[in-house]
Amino acid sequence: MKRGKRIEIDYSMLSSYLGRSATVLVFAAIILIALFALFFDQDDIAHISISIGVCAFDSVRSAPALESLAGYVREQSGGDIQWRYYGPDREPIGCDFYLMTSLQLTPYLVNGALDCCLIVAMKEAQRYARGVVITRAGGGNFVPGDAKVIFTSPVSATGFLSPYLALREMGAGEPVRADNIDFAGYYPNDERVVFGVLFGTYQAGGISLERLRFLEKRGVVRRDELHVFLEGRSLPEVVLAADRSIDPKKRNGFTERFLSIAERVPDPLQAGLSLIGISGFVQPRQNDLDLIRELHNSIPPELLDQIAKQKITHGG
pTM confidence score: 0.81
Q: Read out DSSP for 146-183?
A: T--EEES-TT-IIIIIHHHHHHHTTSSS-SB-GGGEEE
Count of positions (residues) in the chain:
316
Query: pLDDT at residue 296 above 90?
Result: no
Is 286 within a domain? Answer: yes
Q: What is the dihedral of CA 93, 56, 158, 192, to 10 degrees?
A: -150
**231 shares a domain with 161:** yes
pLDDT recorded at residue 305: 67
Query: Would you place residue 189 in the very low, low, confident or very high pLDDT band (cuts 50, 70, 90)?
Result: confident
Residue 237 has pLDDT above 80, yes or no: yes
Using 50, 70 and 90 to split pLDDT, how confident is the model at 146? Answer: confident
- 193 with 61, same domain: the answer is no
Q: In angstroms, how far is the first alpha carbon of the chain from the final one?
A: 89
Q: Is residue 272 part of a domain?
A: yes
Q: Indicate if the pLDDT at residue 67 is higher than 90.
A: yes
122 and 261, same domain (yes or no):
yes
The yes-or-no verdict on residue 102 having pLDDT over 80 is yes
Taking 70 as the threshold, does the pLDDT of residue 257 lie above it? yes
Q: pLDDT by residue (tens digit) across 39-60?
A: 434 456 667 899 999 999 888 8
Q: What CATH number is associated with residue 70?
A: 3.40.190.10
Q: Where are any strands of DSSP class E within 238-285? A: 238-243, 280-282
pLDDT of residue 185: 72
Q: Do 136 and 269 belong together in one domain?
A: no
**Which residue, among 304, 316, 315, has the nearest Cα to 161 in the 3D structure?**
304
Which helix (H) or strand (E) element contains residue 185? none
List the one residue out of 58, 45, 61 whose CA is nearest residue 96. 45
Decide if 298 is inside a domain: yes
Task: Give ∠ CA 36-38-41 in degrees, rounded to 5.
Answer: 90
What's the mean pLDDT in 70-91? 90
Domain check: are 167 and 192 in the same one? yes
Do 79 and 104 fall within a single domain? yes
| Domain end marker among 235, 250, 271 | 235
* Structural domain for 143, as ranges: 129-235
Is 9 a member of any domain?
no
Cα torsion angle, 29, 31, 33, 39, sign: negative
Pick from 191, 206, 235: which residue ends a domain? Answer: 235
Using CA atoms, how far residue 173 sits from 145, 165, 177, in Å, is: 10, 11, 10
Residue 311 pLDDT grade (very low, low, confident, very high; cuts 50, 70, 90): very low
Greater pLDDT, 255 or 16: 255
Considering its fold, how many domains does the chain have in total?
2
Average pLDDT, the chain: 82
- Looking at 201, 235, 269, the residue that finishes a domain is 235
Do 294 and 282 lie in a common domain? yes
Query: Do both 119 and 175 map to the same domain?
Result: no
Residues 117 and 191 in one domain: no
Q: How does pLDDT run across 10-20, given as a tens digit for each residue? A: 545 544 544 55
Name which of 3-17, 193-207, 284-298 the model is least confident about: 3-17
Residues 110-144 pLDDT 10s: 999 999 999 999 987 788 999 999 999 987 667 77
**What does the longest C-alpha to C-alpha distance in the chain come to?**
122
